Amino acid sequence: MPFRSSTDRVALLNIETTYGVAATMAAANAIRLMDSSIEPVADKLERNLDSPHFGGDPFVLVGKRITLSGTVDVIGSATAGLAAPLGGLYRICGHSEVLTPATNAVYAPISLGLPSATIDFFMAGIRFRMLGVRGSMSFAFNVKEYAKATVQLTGLLVIPQDGEAPASIDWAAFSTPAAIETETWNVQIAGVPVYARQLSLAQNATLPLIETSENREVVLTDRKPTGTLQVVKNDALATWNPWALANAQSIVVITNAITSTGGRSVSAPIRAQLEYPKPVDIEGVAGFDIAFTAVPSGAGGDEYSLTFT
């Protein structure tokens, strides 16, 4: 048998009707990942046996699970109001999906009713199947790059088998995103435009595998999003003073919008409480790194959102 390239990787994802019961998988369920890696994981249950001899102890593998990580583009459908091509991935990473025909698709955090998915990850002739998959995302918006999200997914382990990805995958829905440049990116804090260079937001979700006598399930038990905004100093503090905003313990809206065409526009506002900015050197010019926590209102689920148009 000939050797296979390690870059031969394709993932399919479909939302499950019943947790942990495999959903139907087809070429249309393909998701476009970058820099992906997969790892079957288990805990070793050992017995420290007394013995007159040196040597290892036998063990049983418990807590069997499988993890998948990778990077994805933050991009919507080319047709306004249709689900984003990665809509299923957003949903299993703790987001609702609200579609307004011919207008937009909105993804916002949820705390209850989190769906799960089946994922088939094909690598060099091996099919790694994950059941009951849920995950966490970290978003990055950086000048001279694409908007991206890093995903960490965990599911129930199915022993890998030989298998090939479907031959008829159509990647047309995953169009090239807009580059983040001066012409496309607008960032404001409390309504004041700032000279942003980088904006990150991590969900920081807690997703343990909970096992009981009746079932095992990957469960979302907590989520505390945090991030950092890097800006170049462009105004006198009398015009915009981030230290004063932090000192006042104010909740401000960080407006973050990439404007383009063909489903590549995305708005990601964040309700943020700022920490004291840290002065930094940005390629020889003065700037600030501003850490923040995304804080929901009393209604919840609005600490940030993604709107694709």
- pLDDT of residue 236 exceeding 70, the answer is yes
Residue 2 lies in a domain: no
59-73: b (≥16 Cβ within 10 Å) or e: eeeeebbbbbbbebb
Percent of the chain with pLDDT over 70: 100
Residue 273 lies in a domain: yes
Domain that holds residue 273: 9-308
263 or 220, higher pLDDT:
220
* Number of domains within the chain: 1
Span between the terminal Cα atoms of the chain, in Å: 47
3-state secondary structure at position 92: helix
Residue 4 lies in a domain: no
Section 125-147 average pLDDT? 98
Report the C-alpha gap between 250 and 184 in whole angstroms.
28
Residue 46 lies in a domain: yes
CA distances from 111 to 92, 154, 205, 209, 221 (A): 12, 18, 11, 17, 9
Residue 112's pLDDT band, with cuts at 50, 70 and 90, is very high
Residue 238's pLDDT is 83
Residues 6 or more apart whose CB falls under 8 angstroms from that of 211 comprise: 63
| Closest C-alpha to 188, from 246, 268, 267, 254 | 254
Residue 105 lies in a domain: yes
Residue 81 lies in a domain: yes
Section 299-307 average pLDDT? 97
Task: Tell me the whole-structure pTM to 2 decimals.
Answer: 0.94
Report the C-alpha gap between 155 and 218 in whole angstroms.
7
Residues 6 or more apart whose CB falls under 8 angstroms from that of 202 comprise: 136, 137, 138, 139, 225, 226, 227
Residue 99 lies in a domain: yes
